[in-house]
């Protein structure tokens, strides 16, 4: 039996060898292709992992950028708001003091009217006028301005009606006939309404 096997092996001719070589080549090529396919799959999985990581990083970057923009916007709004508040505070910082000084201004005006009506000493009248002028000039520099109400239409945004009286003429109906107490604005904002008498 061993002789037959040996004979079979010996019977393999040179012509049969290319067929065997080609089979070996096919096997090695198949192995190579299988390896290549495996390498490609490995590369694909690595690429997909890399792409996922890139997507995550891009998303994180986008979120961080969004947070930064929102924070910047909030800070910018805060800065503008505090700047506006500071300007408002500067404009109205002296408002309380000026409101407290308005009765003094009223007293000066009444004193000047009384001095002028009584024909008092001219020097005394001029002295009071100078003091009142300095006081009112200082208040004006801070933004104080009196309302001119006499003869104007009654407006509840600026005037407070004390009483109504019959209008002396038709033109004065619904208009301010007399001012009992002057109204004042501070930097365009009403700090005291004018107390007026309205014609009806």
- Read off the pLDDT of residues 6-63 as tens digits, 9 standing for 90 and up: 555 555 554 555 555 455 555 556 555 655 656 666 667 777 888 888 889 999 999 9
Side-chain-side CA neighbours of 10 within 13 Å: the count stands at 6
Higher-confidence residue of 95 and 9: namely: 95
Residue 187: pLDDT band by 50, 70, 90 thresholds? confident
Indicate if the pLDDT at residue 181 is higher than 80. Answer: yes
> Residues 65-85: pLDDT tens digits?
999 999 999 999 999 999 998
Residue 170: pLDDT band by 50, 70, 90 thresholds? confident
Q: Please check whether residue 195 is in contact with residue 102, taking contact to mean a CB–CB distance below 8 angstroms.
A: no
Domain residue ranges of the chain, discontinuous segments joined by +: 25-90, 94-142, 145-200
Lowest mean pLDDT among 93-102, 116-125, 177-186: 116-125
Burial of 132 (0-12, 13-18, 19+ CB in 10 A): middle
Q: Return the DSSP state at 198.
A: E
Here the contacts of 153-162 (C-beta below 8 Å, separation 24 or greater) are 154/196, 154/198, 157/190, 158/183, 158/190, 158/193, 158/194, 159/183, 159/193, 159/194, 159/195, 159/196, 159/198, 160/193, 160/194, 160/195, 160/196, 161/196, 161/197, 161/198, 162/195, 162/196, 162/197
Burial of 139 (0-12, 13-18, 19+ CB in 10 A): buried
The predicted pLDDT at position 23 comes to 55
What is the residue-averaged pLDDT of the chain? 80
C-alpha dist (Å) from residue 40 to 31, 35, 127, 166, 176: 14, 9, 105, 104, 96
Give SS3 for 161. strand
CATH superfamily, with its number, for domain 145-200 = Head domain of nucleotide exchange factor GrpE (2.30.22.10)
Q: Please check whether residue 144 is in contact with residue 98, taking contact to mean a CB–CB distance below 8 angstroms.
A: yes
Alpha-carbon gap, residue 200 to 196, rounded angstroms: 13
Residue 120: pLDDT band by 50, 70, 90 thresholds? confident
Residue 152: pLDDT band by 50, 70, 90 thresholds? confident
β-pair type (189-192, 194-199): unpaired
Indicate whether this model's pTM tops 0.85.
no
């Amino acid at each position: 039996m061993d002789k037959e096997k040996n004979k079979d092996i010996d019977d393999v001719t040179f012509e049969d060898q290319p067929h065997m070589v080609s089979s070996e080549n096919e096997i090695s090529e198949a192995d190579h292709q299988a390896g290549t396919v495996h390498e490609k799959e490995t590369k694909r999985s690595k690429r997909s992992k890399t792409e996922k990581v890139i997507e995550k990083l891009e998303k994180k970057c986008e979120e961080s950028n969004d947070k930064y923009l929102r924070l910047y916007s909030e800070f910018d709004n805060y800065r503008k708001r505090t700047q506006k508040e500071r300007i408002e505070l500067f404009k109205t910082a002296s408002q309380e003091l000026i409101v407290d000084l308005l009765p003094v201004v009223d007293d000066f005006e009444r004193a000047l009217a009384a001095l002028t009506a009584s024909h008092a000493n001219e020097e005394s009248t001029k002295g009071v006028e100078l003091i009142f002028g300095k006081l009112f000039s200082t208040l004006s520099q801070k933004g104080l301005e009196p309302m001119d109400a006499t003869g104007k239409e009654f407006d509840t945004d600026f005037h407070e009606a004390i009483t109504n009286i019959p209008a002396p003429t038709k033109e004065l109906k619904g208009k301010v006939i007399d001012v009992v107490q002057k109204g004042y604005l501070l930097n365009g904002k009403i700090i005291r309404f004018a107390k007026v008498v309205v014609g009806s």
